[in-house]
Structure 1
Amino acid sequence: MPDVSTSHSAPAHPYADLGTTKKVLLVATTFTSYMLFAVAWNWGDMYVTSLGFSASRTAVMTNAITLAQVVGSIVAANVIVQLGTRKAYTLAGALIVFGGLVSLTQAFPLVFFIRFVMGLGGALMVVMGSAIAAKVLTGRDLQIANGIGSVAFNTGLAVAITFGVRFSGRPTIAVVIAATLSIILLVTWLVVSKMVLKPEQAQEAAVDHSYTMADGFKEWFNWVFALAYTGLLSYYIVAFTFMDPSTIRWVIYAGIVGALSGTVVSARVEDRLKPVIVVWSALAQVIAAASVLALAGHRLEVLIGVILGFVIFFPMPFFVQTAFIRPGVTPRQIAVTFSIFWAVSYAGSVFIIQIFAWIADATGGLIPGSNVPVSVAPMIFIVIAEASFLIGTFFIWRWFKAQNAFSEEITA
């Protein structure tokens, strides 16, 4: 750790003079771009559902995107190095736009391929969003940007579910609209990034090579950080794909409120308390997820769904921030951490979701005309899988205590 007495001689942050307007434009653009990825994913699911696939094939279509998230997350950090931040993010946006081509075919292999390419774009985008925030923003601005970013996907689902009912009989039009909106955001990114991001120097690229994916995979924190999220991610993907839309809609709406509340609170809470808050929220998630299952069809189902949505997303800003508050962490390490985070969590969710689908098919399949399983057995399985978030975040909290990361000596 550098001597605080010499900290006055440290070079100024390269974006220290960046105005508030440009910061807002950058965050708003990356937020909306990833939000539209969620819209494209959900409306693409609606199109796939209209093709009449079984639970297993529907899961395969969802896993086309999930598998792409694994591949994209692994290569994202190196794509940034090879292309530079601006071009890499542009590529991600273009791949998401490509997903609109799914509206032109009903052939299973082509649908899978197009969905895979779109998922690749989403994977690159979410990792690069964290890297861009770490590169450009600092302090509370960074915490707020991370918090807002954590609700982008959920906001996209809320938008998709709210307006998707208008296209229930015309899913092809919904897919085309999502692709068109993504094109508009891609153009917006090209303009905003030109205004905000500075040309990347050769020296920066050389520094980026100093911490590799291999280095990242050797770090205990990166593995636990990713595996903790795996069960929660699987639960959430199953929720918006295989659960009753009338209930999951309220989970998603409440999730937006929860994430925004978490963003505001996280920016005001001391770093040493963030891991603790995540653990208690994770416990509340497991209880709420089990309650939603136990009270299915009960008049309190919606209320429990609201509570579930809130406790799922309230801790997300705190959880994401734990990766940024590690002692001595660099922007390159952040990029690698989130590459591993999304790769491992999505790879794990592919496995978990497919098991969920196999259990569903083996116990009666789906209710005709919907994606909801006939049996409760797969739902019990996914609630158990969701508990990995509680286990993982508990270990992260203990790790921070062991590292003495928030001692008076370090925080002074």
Structure 2
Amino acid sequence: MERALRTYDNRPTNDKSKVGIRAIIIEIIMLFTYAFFAVSWIAGSILTPQIMEHFNIESFSAATLLSNAITIAKIIGNLLAAWFLVNFNPKKAIGFASLLIVVGSISAPFVSQYWMFIILRFVMGFGGALFIVYFGPIVIKYFSPEQRPIINGINNVAYNIGSIIAMLAVLPVYNWLLTWQSSLIFFAAFSGILLILWLIVGEDFNLNKSSNSSLEVNQEIYTFKDGLKDKFNYTFAFTYSGLLTLYIVILSIFPVADFTAIDSALLSATVAFAAIAGSAVGILLTKKINRRLPVLRWSGLFMTAAAFIMILTHSPALSIVMAGVVGFLMFLPITALVTIPQELPNMTPSKLTVIMGFFWSFSYIVETIAYYAIGVVIDLSGFKAGLIVAVVLSLTFFIGSFLLPETGKRKLIKT
């Protein structure tokens, strides 16, 4: 098998007609590693009552430390992802991220103190934060520009895949194994298997070779300091931050809202399921339409409009239809969005890692501040006012479409 992998790996990475066996296996491992990270994380959330009872935690605010732990882990992990990649090289860096997911998820059930449980959840979240940044370098290393929209779109739904697995499997597994500890270990075992597969199949590659050029030359190293000076990184994160805030608010705060025309939890579920359909169409749209910014612009504008209607209408039917539109349009443009940095001139795996690290970190910093502000508004003026603020903030996606560079190629008109 190793000989076969080497044979396919020797083919040029810009082959537009075929994808090597190694590339396919690596993509599958990456996809399901992050999906089962999501399963393990969501399983902990679903089983929060049992976990709180085990550790004698009565305060809900203490339970929210688990959510805060992953937020902090994401911000720090995203920023440090490039450092780990450069110093460990791809195979060890991705393996290390996967190892943290395994250690954090499989060890947490064995601890006796709640603070130790939180630390191990942080470790798992840190591994996930590193891992999500490493999708980009893998995509531009193993897939041609024509293939990348498809792979980007698939990777974008990795967490959604994990969410669906968790919603369908966590409670049945808990009822089967009878304890939350055994349930978390059960799902962690899948992450362990994927780590072993990565250690067998994963490999190192040149991090500074341009993916958008046929020239066999190394590009200048793009450092963390360069990233801090690059206005693209701030614009890129700003664009996504409002959509991210609205998405998290819809999934976390919205289900307990008491003002909607129909059960708000049903609206949240509709948004989540429609997001998967949006991702699928987004892949096709990104391949068919060469331009990136129009997809972002109009999806963002109509998403915000639909969200306003969803929370303000008194019609149950219209509310649930708009929830589907919101979820669909939230994820429709994400493939185009994450394809933009991959199409920038002289892009390399190491530079893309820095850019995506800033992207995720800055987005979550803005989201964390906005999420707190929305909570304050809800305390002062109620759920409807807080949701309106979240919807207004989602306009960053529309605004950002006028600030980002257009990386798509115009079609030539034959005369």
Is the TM-score greater than 0.5?
Answer: yes
Aligned to 1:325: 343
Aligned to 2:261: none
**Structure 2 contact 239–396 (Cα < 8 Å) conserved:** yes
Q: Structure 1 residues 348 and 174 mapped into 2: Cα distance closer, same or farther (>3 Å)?
A: farther
Aligned to 2:144: 138
Question: Matches of residues 18-97 of structure 1 in structure 2 within 5 Å?
Answer: 19-48=19-48, 50=50, 51=52, 56-97=61-102
**Structure 1 contact 59–357 (Cα < 8 Å) conserved:** no
Matched, 1:353 2:368: no
**Structure 1 contact 47–175 (Cα < 8 Å) conserved:** no
Q: Which runs of 5+ in 2 are unaligned?
A: 1-9, 210-216, 256-264
Distance 1:318 1:203 in 2: 24
Distance 1:355 1:178 in 2: 35
User: Per-residue displacement from partner, 1:122-174 (whole Å, max 9, x unpaired)?
Assistant: 11101111111112222212222112111111222222223345368765444
Aligned to 1:158: 164
Q: Structure 1 residues 383 and 55 mapped into 2: Cα distance closer, same or farther (>3 Å)?
A: farther
Picking from 176, 185, 189, the partner of 2:185 is 176
Aligned to 2:251: 240
What is the letter of the counterpart of residue 328 of structure 2? Answer: F
Q: Which runs of 5+ in 1 are unaligned?
A: 1-11, 365-373
Aligned to 1:259: 279
Distance 1:246 1:156 in 2: 19
User: Per-residue displacement from partner, 1:347-399 (whole Å, max 9, x unpaired)?
Assistant: 22222223344455x369xxxxxxxxx84343333223322222223322xx4
Shift of residue 307 of structure 1?
1.5
Shift of residue 248 of structure 1?
2.2
Aligned to 1:382: 390
Q: Structure 1 residues 92 and 299 mapped into 2: Cα distance closer, same or farther (>3 Å)?
A: same
Q: Structure 1 residues 354 and 178 mapped into 2: Cα distance closer, same or farther (>3 Å)?
A: farther
User: Per-residue displacement from partner, 1:198-230 (whole Å, max 9, x unpaired)?
Assistant: x446997x9688210110121111111012111
Q: Structure 1 residues 148 and 344 mapped into 2: Cα distance closer, same or farther (>3 Å)?
A: same
Question: Matches of residues 335-346 of structure 1 in structure 2 within 5 Å?
Answer: 335-346=353-364
Aligned to 1:315: 333
What is the letter of the counterpart of residue 192 of structure 1? Answer: V
Q: Structure 1 residues 53 and 234 mapped into 2: Cα distance closer, same or farther (>3 Å)?
A: farther
Picking from 225, 242, 245, the partner of 1:214 is 225
Shift of residue 108 of structure 1?
4.4
Question: Matches of residues 282-297 of structure 1 in structure 2 within 5 Å?
Answer: 282-295=300-313
Aligned to 1:4: none
**Structure 2 contact 219–348 (Cα < 8 Å) conserved:** no
Shift of residue 94 of structure 1?
1.2
Q: Structure 1 residues 82 and 53 mapped into 2: Cα distance closer, same or farther (>3 Å)?
A: farther
**Structure 1 contact 81–208 (Cα < 8 Å) conserved:** no
Shift of residue 71 of structure 1?
0.8
**Structure 1 contact 295–301 (Cα < 8 Å) conserved:** yes
Aligned to 2:116: 110
**Structure 2 contact 208–350 (Cα < 8 Å) conserved:** no
User: Per-residue displacement from partner, 1:22-66 (whole Å, max 9, x unpaired)?
Assistant: 322222211111111222222222233552766654544212111
What is the letter of the counterpart of residue 86 of structure 1? Answer: K
Aligned to 2:13: 15
% of aligned pairs identical? 27
Q: Structure 1 residues 241 and 324 mapped into 2: Cα distance closer, same or farther (>3 Å)?
A: same
What is the letter of the counterpart of residue 142 of structure 1? Answer: R
What is the letter of the counterpart of residue 133 of structure 2? Answer: V
What is the letter of the counterpart of residue 301 of structure 1? Answer: S
CA RMSD of aligned residues (A): 3.1
Q: Structure 1 residues 159 and 14 mapped into 2: Cα distance closer, same or farther (>3 Å)?
A: same
**Structure 1 contact 45–241 (Cα < 8 Å) conserved:** no
Question: Matches of residues 369-408 of structure 1 in structure 2 within 5 Å?
Answer: 375-396=383-404, 399-400=405-406, 406=409
User: Per-residue displacement from partner, 1:103-132 (whole Å, max 9, x unpaired)?
Assistant: 345854333322211111111101111111
Q: Structure 1 residues 248 and 181 mapped into 2: Cα distance closer, same or farther (>3 Å)?
A: farther
Q: Secondary structure at the match of 2:47?
A: helix
Q: Structure 1 residues 314 and 78 mapped into 2: Cα distance closer, same or farther (>3 Å)?
A: same
299-308 or 89-98: bigger deviation:
299-308
Q: Structure 1 residues 235 and 380 mapped into 2: Cα distance closer, same or farther (>3 Å)?
A: same
Aligned to 1:123: 129
**Structure 2 contact 104–121 (Cα < 8 Å) conserved:** yes
TM-score under structure 1 length normalisation:
0.81
Q: Structure 1 residues 356 and 203 mapped into 2: Cα distance closer, same or farther (>3 Å)?
A: closer
Q: Structure 1 residues 291 and 176 mapped into 2: Cα distance closer, same or farther (>3 Å)?
A: farther
Q: Structure 1 residues 238 and 13 mapped into 2: Cα distance closer, same or farther (>3 Å)?
A: farther
Aligned to 2:197: 188
